[in-house]
Amino acid sequence: MSKVLVIGGGIGGLSAAIGLRQAGHDVDIVEISPGREVYHVGIIVQANFLRALDQLGVADQAIARGFPYAGFDLRNKNGGLDAYIPGVALSREGHPTDLGLTRPALYDVLSEGCASHGVKPRFGVTFEKLEQSDDKVTVTFTDGTIGDYDFVIGSDGLFSKVRTALFGDTYTPTFTGQAVWRYNIPRPAEVIRTAMYQGVPGGKAGYCPLTDETMYLLLVMAEPGKPWLAKEDLPRLLKERLAPFGGRIAEIRDTVDFDPDQIVYRPLEAVFVAEPWYRGRILLIGDAAHGTTPHLGQGAAQAVEDAATLGTLAAQNLPVSDMFARFMAKRYDRCKFIWESSIQIGKWEMANDLEADVAALSHKVLDTVSAPL
């Protein structure tokens, strides 16, 4: 049994801990945040995400706390239907092709999965120093403790300190030119799947059902210069950016009294490590290696796929170098295509490219994620 450290207690890190425990390894997790810090907004979960969650043994729990549905709509800016993209069944029989879920609910599911395997994150702690030898990684933690590990997983997000420790400043997140706005609202009974409204220069808007009672509003829009926006101005600015849209988006804009404390606004930044994501006995997964944009709803899915793949390989008792090499062979091209496709959609939106075929690219991505892990 190997002793493993996971740095980062988000979606990818918690998932990795479950997969590694299933494989029979002893796992520690450290998380720099002092406690649970999860935005109460939604996440779009597609079938490959559910398949990976099922491999980790927590898909049923996630489905029970979310809103199952099938496929999504691509609509024009006034709400007319341009295309329906059907979901692909990849998980077990009886599982939906798509799921809306709040981030806190997903966090709870993964935390409970960790707890069932005897893993509990150490909050308010991260690494101070990583020292590798031929057979171990010695980790000095910020609380003054020291531990030896057979290998280390860096799942500490877009601004990963582990990535910097391995690659220096070679890979740093870059502002894409857009920002995302998110806001939870009540769900009308007729909203039964995700819809995205396209055709507005700079971005798109949409909504996704989360539970029987709630859904969330999503706006991705160009924000030149990566502006800082005062919290008290967010409701007015959000309504201004929703002005070009009709249909249900216009209804939301005109009827919802947006609470500035509940609006989640984030400039979109992305990074992709264009070489093997490991050095010696330390491996990056999730956003630390391939942090992307939300245009395809695949960021969290790819982190969980990383974790499920790692768990499968970790059960084979391979030398660490072989395990990491096989991990890269399975994950690199898949994640690179999804990352590039998501970035491409953002570029099309900012250029208002009327020739762009988002539906065709979405189908290609679905074909890619439908392939076995």
CATH number at residue 15: 3.50.50.60
Write down the pTM of the prediction: 0.95
Mean pLDDT across 348-352: 93
Does residue 343 form part of some domain? yes
User: In this predicted structure, which of 28-37, 160-169, 317-326 has the lowest mean pLDDT?
Assistant: 28-37
- From start to end of 52-161, where are the E strands? 67-69, 72-75, 81-85, 98-102, 122-123, 127-132, 137-141, 146-149, 151-154
Are 311 and 184 in contact by the 8 Å Cβ rule? The answer is no
Does residue 279 form part of some domain? yes
Q: In this structure, what are the phi and psi dihedrals at residue 297, rounded to the nearest 5 degrees?
A: 60, 35
Beta bridge mates, 4? 27, 151
Instruction: Supply the pLDDT for residue 35.
Output: 77
Instruction: Supply the pLDDT for residue 301.
Output: 95
| 233: confidence class by pLDDT, cuts 50, 70, 90 | very high
Mean pLDDT across 202-215: 96
Does residue 81 form part of some domain? no
Does residue 18 form part of some domain? yes
The residue count of the chain comes to 373
- From start to end of 263-314, where are the E strands? 264-272, 278-279, 282-284, 291
Whole-angstrom distance, CA of residue 138 vs CA of residue 166 = 15
Does residue 364 form part of some domain? no
Does residue 255 form part of some domain? no
Mean pLDDT across 182-197: 96
Of all residues in the chain, the percent with pLDDT exceeding 90 is: 91
Mean pLDDT over each residue of the chain, to the nearest integer: 95
Mean pLDDT across 139-157: 97
Does residue 261 form part of some domain? no
Mean pLDDT across 48-72: 96
- From start to end of 155-201, where are the E strands? 174-186, 194-200
Instruction: Supply the pLDDT for residue 359.
Output: 87
Whole-angstrom distance, CA of residue 74 vs CA of residue 105 = 26
What range does the domain containing 113 cover? 3-69+98-173+269-350
Please report, as a single letter, which amino acid is at residue 369.
Answer: V
Whole-angstrom distance, CA of residue 218 vs CA of residue 228 = 19
Q: Give the single-character DSSP code of 156.
A: -
Radius of gyration of the chain (CA): 20
For helices 358-370 and 47-55, what crossing angle results, to 10°? Answer: 20
Please tell me the total count of domains within the chain: 1
Instruction: Supply the pLDDT for residue 32.
Output: 95
| 92: confidence class by pLDDT, cuts 50, 70, 90 | confident
Which residues have CB under 8 Å from 169's CB, separation 6+?
none
Of all residues in the chain, the percent with pLDDT exceeding 70 is: 100
Token pair listed for 285 = 């997964």
- Residue 296 pLDDT greater than 80, yes or no: yes
Whole-angstrom distance, CA of residue 15 vs CA of residue 62 = 13
Q: What is the pLDDT of residues 14-49, one digit of tens each?
A: 999 999 999 999 999 999 998 777 777 888 889 999
Does residue 160 form part of some domain? yes
Computed from CA positions of residues 20, 313, 63, 192, in that sequence, does the dihedral angle turn out positive or negative? positive
DSSP for 32-46 reads SSSS----S-EEEEE
